[in-house]
Chains A and B, each alone.
Chain A
Amino acid sequence: AQKVTQAQTEISVVEKEDVTLDCVYETRDTTYYLFWYKQPPSGELVFLIRRNSFDEQNEISGRYSWNFQKSTSSFNFTITASQVVDSAVYFCALSEARGANSKLTFGKGITLSVRP
């Protein structure tokens, strides 16, 4: 069975601090996808990134960066120079490769609060 663990439940930082959100996953599949979604107070899940299991390159997008390490089954997310607008709940998710996004397994989410 697939499982995603986000051990951190709540993180509070002051604006401009860097913050890393941890994600550990379990799967028996050799081919799978990993995701990060952001959920602002409005409720919808906003897609941030997708990684497939064969691509371990780290990725940077502006202030966001992701570190995928298959050896430790981790897919961590770092926000550099955090801003108040980054305050939200962040979810890490896992999907099997077959059937497109037929089933996303989510972690419990991390509530990030960025204080001015």
Chain B
Amino acid sequence: KAGVTQTPRYLIKTRGQQVTLSCSPISGHRSVSWYQQTPGQGLQFLFEYFSETQRNKGNFPGRFSGRQFSNSRSEMNVSTLELGDSALYLCASSLGDGVLYTEAFFGQGTRLTVV
């Protein structure tokens, strides 16, 4: 069974640019969550999508956005990049049926460097 796939693995962008990261969840999983990991702030929740709808959102500025497609694949976008956006972005997938808790499985992440 394939795991959570995040692409690309590494990315270098310039301040002011925008970036799109992709996450393919485990087959059959309908919930995708995104987290930002930095040395200073640690792991912070960005947002969660379930069946193409944003179900929960963390405390990040509007420059951070996401979406989910009908096949459960998800993308997150960061516009007007700042140096502080440099981080490891992790995606997690789960069955997420909202009734019975299921474990979240994480991808290897996308390492974004903003220069």
Contacts and interface: CB of A to CB of B under 8 A. Distances in A.
Which of A47, A98, A102: most chain B CB closer than 10 A? A102
Contacts of A33: 101
A92 to B, nearest CB: 11
B96 A100 contact: yes
B16 interface: no
Given A99-B55, A104-B104, A45 B42 contact: no
Range of interface residues on chain B?
20 to 34
Contacts of B94: 100-101
Interface in A49-92: 50, 52, 91
Contact of A100 (B35, B102, B108): B102
A109 B42 contact: yes
B48 interface: yes
A100 to B, nearest CB: 4
Nearest to B58: A103
A43 interface: yes
B56 interface: yes
Contacts of B111: 43
A25 to B, nearest CB: 15
Given A99-B55, A101-B92, A42 B102 contact: no
Interface of B: 3-4, 31, 33, 35, 42-45, 48, 50, 55-56, 58, 88, 90, 92, 94-98, 100-109, 111
Interface of A: 33, 37, 42-47, 50, 52, 91, 93, 95, 97-109
